[in-house]
Structure 1
Amino acid sequence: MSEDRPQQKDAYSLILDAIDVGIYRPGDRLVESELAERFGVSRTPIREALQRLETQSLLSRDGRSLMVASLDHNQMAELYEVRIELEGLAARLAARHATEAEGRVLQSFIDEDRELLGDPSALARANRRFHRQIHLASHNRFLVQQLDLVYRSMTLMATTSLAVEGRGHIALAEHQSIVDAIRSRDGDAAYAALREHISMAFETRLKNDASEF
């Protein structure tokens, strides 16, 4: 077994991570034997993981084959609508409950992420880290669980809005507004800033998708 192969994750997490980082993209067919060989696990946990992912609508079936699902325009719009509301709530609660240390961590993420502006893939990973920290800073376990489900579905988007020219700089400025509001304990401002941030990301994605036709 390769030494750089993840040792502590189960088959479900390994496959989900592979989809998240783009190893498997919407429309790609997933084969039990190939997955078992790639991840160094037996086919039984792979089969169970595939069944779980299909139940969660992250995989779709074409005859006997399972493929990474894709989101159509309406599904993407519905996902963003839910994301806007839940993330706005997370920011409002973070303004109320975040510790000073959590506020400093959020600021440090923004400072570090400026070094990634030339690398959309790395910036997208850092963006998820930033948002996840806000979720945790809400100190509401049920909200975090729901946002985990939303972000699980976000893995089905083949591209990131942060790849659009200029979006990275704008997104970090939006992140700064969110963090400033959270650290100022201004829940209304944090809620509004986070909602605006997600709305702009969705608008950027729609414009970019339209330009590809």
Structure 2
Amino acid sequence: MVQSLKLSQPLYQQIYDIIKSSILAGELKPGEKVNVSQLAEKYNISRTPLREALRQLQIEGLLVQDHLSLNVVKLEETDFKDLYECRLMLEPQIMGLILKTVADRELEEIEKVLRHAEEAFKAGDHLQLLELNAQFHDRLLEASPNKRAVHLLQQVRSFLLLYRANILKNSEHNREILKEHRQILNALKARDGIVVAKTVENHLRNDLERGTNMIRE
């Protein structure tokens, strides 16, 4: 279904949101060619805002350019594992720093995000759940005193977005991920550094297994 464009938002932002949602929902498949002319005609817009939207999606790793065409990124097991190795190196260390700086009021706000995610799961809204799960991690990272490390981790997580979207198409995976997020939050509330490290690493290794199985199916 073609979404109508709004005058209240910049065109490139609207097209970016539409194409990104199409990729994450699986309407544009991994590896599928993106036809710029067809998109411009479909949404009746000029090439300039369209190219700006596509450039942003390339930066985020959802689109890739080869010598012939622009395509939705493919799901590759080796790439996925490399990215998760980066997360495993960075995220437990960052979470250890967060434990020393995160305020109780910040944890309360993160709890609200988690509750909204649990509601989205019950409603079967996978794209909303994907966004709220990302917010859960983003809110935690905002409390980190090491912004350089956070920037590196956010780059890694950006390249994992399509993988995460496909993982969340499995209802049981959704249930497991929410349970693990709840365990991480409880460990942070208890100010228990050992349990925080253990629950974060467990969550990442489970995600690695979930994603690897998803790619192989």
TM class, shorter-chain normalised?
Answer: 0.7 to 0.9
8 Å contact 2:95–2:196 — kept in the other structure?
Answer: yes
- 1:8 is displaced (CA, Å) by 8.1
* 1:17 counterpart = 2:20: yes
Letter in 1 for 2:143: A
1:132-147 matched pairs, under 5 angstroms:
132-147=138-153
Q: 1:31 — aligned with what?
A: 35
The aligned residue for residue 108 of structure 1 is 112
Which amino acid is 1:181 matched to?
A
- Of the three residues 134, 148, 163, the one matched with 1:128 is 134
- The whole-number CA distance in structure 1 between the counterparts of 2:142 and 2:190 is 18
Post-superposition offset of 1:172: 1.9
Name the aligned partner's letter for residue 166 of structure 1. Answer: E
The correspondence of residues 188-199 of structure 1 with structure 2, limited to 5 A, is: 188-199=194-205
Going from structure 1 to structure 2, the CA distance change for 1:22 and 1:6 (only over 3 Å counts) comes to farther
TM-score (norm 2): 0.78
Q: Which residue does 2:175 correspond to in 1?
A: 169
Which residue matches 1:74? 78
Distance 1:59 1:109, change over 3 A: closer
**TM-score, length of structure 1 as denominator length:** 0.79
Partner SS state of residue 67, structure 1? strand
Q: SS at 2:83's partner residue?
A: helix
1:86 matched residue in structure 2? 90
Unaligned residue ranges in structure 1 (runs of 5+): none
Number of residue-to-residue matches in the alignment = 211
Instruction: Please provide the CA RMSD for this pair.
Output: 3.2
SS in 2 for 1:90: helix
Partner of 2:5: 2
Kindly indicate whether the alpha-carbon contact (under 8 Å) linking 2:16 and 2:57 is maintained by their aligned counterparts in 1.
no
Q: Distance in 1 between matches of 2:81 and 2:166?
A: 15
- Structure 1 residue 22: Cα displacement: 4.2
Task: Give the unaligned 5+ runs of structure 2.
Answer: none
